A and B are shown apart, each in its own frame.
Chain A
Amino acid sequence: MEVWVSIIISVCAASTPLLLAATGELVVERSGVLNLGVEGMMIIGAVTGFSVAQVTGNPYLGALAAVAAGAFFSLLFAFLTLTLVANQVATGLALTILGLGLSGMIGEGFVGQPGIKMQALEIPLLSDIPVFGKLLFGQDLIFYLSIALVFGVSWFLFRTRAGLMLRSVGDSHTSAHALGINVIRIRYLAVLFGGACSGLAGAYLSLVYVPQWVEGMTAGRGWIALALVVFASWRPARLLVGAYLFGAVTIAQFHAQATGIAIPAQFLTSLPYIATIVVLVLIARNRRATIINTPASLGKPFVPDH
């Protein structure tokens, strides 16, 4: 039993950064913007979170700083693509490359330092309940936040007026503009939210998952988060399923290696990526659902006439 609890907790830890980054990107894409810079914003969040925690000694301050850094970094993307109407794909890729390089430079002095781990919350009494106590009431704050965020985003998108406006901008920015909805402002806010989420996802890696700084430590998780948004066909609840599925595959691969199952390690490491491709192909088969859910103006630049 104890083994399973620890396995499930490690699945949660592997899934949380994916879920956070993907939730942020889902909101961005629902507003019609394609930000391929998730990986870059995550790594900036990771290095900022780690270094601020080292300097202040407080991992929570580190996480807050990571949120701010991710948002600030995404502001660069927003300015280039929304104000200057640069190509979103190229700008997003540039953001990733810039993030990876910049984080390596910032984090140079921190390489090899033991990090400060954000401790799990031990809610008195509740976390002492056997089996479920540790699972439900004994995890770290960001884990709870990531779950709350999915439901919060789902409620926001489908139950509030602001969410409806955001979806309308993603569906047809010209129609939204004709109704007097401020397309650019909504997209700016969505991109900033996405950046903040990616920043937090990065901080989770460097403060909880492996509390240390390693260059390029996001290791492609930003790309998986992007694929997850498509996997979830832009619906937050499915994102939860997808993120945990990938988290589970990641952990299964560790355990398979540890128990010495005779499968090449390279194959196991590539499992999440293979799973991504398989799922994307399967999803493409149901065209109606994909077309209804896909934000129709995704990636298209918007220039209002003056």
Chain B
Amino acid sequence: MKPAAKSNIDQNSVPLLEARGITKVFGDLRANDGVDLVIREGEIHALLGENGAGKSTLVKILFGSLQPTEGTVLWNGTPVTLRSPSEARALGIGMVFQHFSLFEALTVTENIALSFDSDVPQRHIEQQAGDLSIQYGLPLDPSAIVGDLSVGQRQRVEIIRCLMQDPKLIILDEPTSVLTPQEADTLFETLLRLRDEGRSILYISHRLNEVKQLCSRATIMRHGKVVDACDPREETASTLATKMVGASIANLVVQPPKDRGDIVLSIRNLSMDAANPFAVALRDISLDVHAGEIIGIAGIAGNGQGEFFAAVSGEDMQEDAESVVLEGVPIGHEGISQRRKRAAAFIPEERLGHGAVPQMVLTDNMFLARHASDADEFQKSQPLRVIARNVVNAATKRVVEVMDVRKSAENPPAAALSGGNLQKFIVGRELDRTPKLLVVNQPTWGVDAGAAAHIRQALIDLAANGSAVLMISQDLDEIFEASTSIAVMADGRLSPPVLVGETSREDVGLLMAGGQSDAA
């Protein structure tokens, strides 16, 4: 790949886009507070910040989806008002969204046609999209239904759709969060090519290595404010991280690997049909998890991880009891409560609505999650089995203290907690039982760096104390940081686990792309 350096950008020319004092207030929250941003022609500009720092709000304002409470946007030095995305597109601003703004039931061509403001004949669009896809090396089938495409293919649709407008500025919101390392490299080549054509790119990410590799300018946001603007090539990943978080993040304490203990969880030839057209079938999965181990399951979103979690946790039960064995007992036919009673614990991906009932207070959520496993403690022994409030309250308090859950009230509804704090609560709720087996799906998805480090450390400590941990994650950094062994899930199949020291990101990336043979 070509080096990112290209410093012939004139720092004194009129910038392509300038935001001055952008402020956006939602109720009490100042999502953006006097934000300044300067993007010059032909530069790849990074917008860095943690989840909730206000990056998404800022780009929505720049793309016309949101109106700022205060502040102005200048385009080539002229103040402009962006009342809608179509006005932004007319100026030459294009956007590739993080959670794709595609329509699953429509074809690729129809999706592209929708981003035009006028009625362009579809065969015209088809031809132009075909030309662009050849020109930028982004293969696409224009008549495919988007719901049938992989995540990487969907991103290509988004990029082509954006390029159809011949934009001067392209905004990419966390584009690599859904890609394999190889797919990400292809994306970077496309981006550098676009930059060399004189287009500007606003690149939003919290992956510092990418930013250092790709960008010549960075604006760093924290709590809605710009805290620094710098040249990321002159910084180290750790100085950038410190600016982003505002404090240095504690390094994980990884225990030296001990001898593996007994097998805790044994999965044998687990297969499940897809429950609906957009689900993935699980195919012949076998895996042993020993005490003291953290097996990280890497993979691109939508390759069967959700289905695998549901099968292991008992949300989807198996016909063959032997397909899931916990400490020697076949449990494949048992439901989630029975599995929990056998000292297994499960943390689903979705915090609100799956891991917790959003409108219910923490103590109620505590009771609901553990009503079966802790029935003897949480319910009084009298015939009516009334909830023992004081016991539940004490357990909640314990979790809040151990996991450092920060909350605004004594016992707030789950939805009132920030993502990171709620996730700490949900993880802590299971750890508090000291389970023999913990299965967790996306332990730190959308969680700030401080909370993520806390959660990963807690998982490592649990394994060090003799429990088995199965961790499904799309975050390769997390997989490599916290796991003892790594297995990769692609298209409903699971590769055999490999010790973390004996594999590399490249190898894992190849497996994520489906590079394993059926014999593997």
**A residues bordering B, Cβ < 8 Å?**
160-161, 164-165, 167-168, 171-172, 174-181, 287-288, 291-293, 295-296, 305-306
- Given A168-B114, A287-B277, A306-B67 in contact, is the A179-B105 Cβ separation under 8 Å? no
Complex CA–CA separation, A174 to B276 (angstroms): 23
Which applies to chain B's interface (DSSP): helix, strand, loop or mixed? Answer: loop
User: What's the least CB distance linking A85 to chain B, in Å?
Assistant: 17
Looking at the complex, which one of B85, B145, B278 makes contact with A178 (CB distance below 8 Å)?
Answer: B85
**Binary flags per residue of B106-117, CB closer than 8 Å to A gives 1, else 0:** 100010011100
User: What's the least CB distance linking B124 to chain A, in Å?
Assistant: 12
A180 engages B64 (CB within 8 Å): yes
* Residues of B close to A288: CB separation below 8 A: 276-277
B113 engages A164 (CB within 8 Å): yes
**B residues bordering A, Cβ < 8 Å?**
26, 64-67, 84-87, 89, 97, 100-106, 110, 113-115, 119, 145, 147, 276-278
* Residues of A close to B115: CB separation below 8 A: 179
B114 engages A165 (CB within 8 Å): yes
B276 engages A287 (CB within 8 Å): yes
* Residues of B close to A305: CB separation below 8 A: 26, 65-66
A296 engages B113 (CB within 8 Å): no
User: What's the least CB distance linking B96 to chain A, in Å?
Assistant: 11
* Residues of A close to B276: CB separation below 8 A: 287-288, 291
User: What's the least CB distance linking A191 to chain B, in Å?
Assistant: 21
A180 engages B105 (CB within 8 Å): no
Complex CA–CA separation, A288 to B97 (angstroms): 27
A171 engages B104 (CB within 8 Å): yes
User: What's the least CB distance linking A288 to chain B, in Å?
Assistant: 4
B86 engages A180 (CB within 8 Å): yes
Query: What are 6 inter-chain pairs, A to B, with CB distance below 8 A?
Result: A161-B113, A167-B105, A172-B103, A172-B104, A288-B277, A305-B65
Looking at the complex, which one of B66, B102, B147 makes contact with A175 (CB distance below 8 Å)?
Answer: B102
* Residues of B close to A296: CB separation below 8 A: 104-105
Which applies to chain A's interface (DSSP): helix, strand, loop or mixed? Answer: helix
* Residues of B close to A165: CB separation below 8 A: 114
A291 engages B278 (CB within 8 Å): yes
Complex CA–CA separation, A177 to B85 (angstroms): 9
Complex CA–CA separation, A295 to B106 (angstroms): 11
Q: Closest A-chain residue to B120, C-beta based?
A: A161
* Residues of B close to A175: CB separation below 8 A: 100-103
Complex CA–CA separation, A179 to B277 (angstroms): 26
Looking at the complex, which one of B65, B89, B97, B103 makes contact with A168 (CB distance below 8 Å)?
Answer: B103
Known pairs A164-B106, A175-B100 / 16 extra A-B pairs, C-beta < 8 Å: A168-B106, A168-B114, A171-B105, A172-B103, A175-B102, A176-B103, A178-B65, A180-B64, A180-B65, A287-B276, A287-B277, A292-B147, A296-B104, A296-B105, A305-B26, A305-B65
* Residues of B close to A177: CB separation below 8 A: 65
A167 engages B106 (CB within 8 Å): yes
* Residues of B close to A181: CB separation below 8 A: 114
Complex CA–CA separation, A246 to B101 (angstroms): 39
B110 engages A292 (CB within 8 Å): no
Looking at the complex, which one of A160, A179, A291, A306 makes contact with B114 (CB distance below 8 Å)?
Answer: A179
B101 engages A179 (CB within 8 Å): yes
* Residues of A close to B67: CB separation below 8 A: 306
Complex CA–CA separation, A37 to B114 (angstroms): 31
* Residues of A close to B97: CB separation below 8 A: 178
The 3 A-B residue pairs whose C-beta atoms are closest, nearest first, are A180-B85, A175-B101, A178-B101
Q: Closest B-chain residue to A172, C-beta based?
A: B103
Q: Closest A-chain residue to B113, C-beta based?
A: A164
Q: Closest B-chain residue to A164, C-beta based?
A: B110
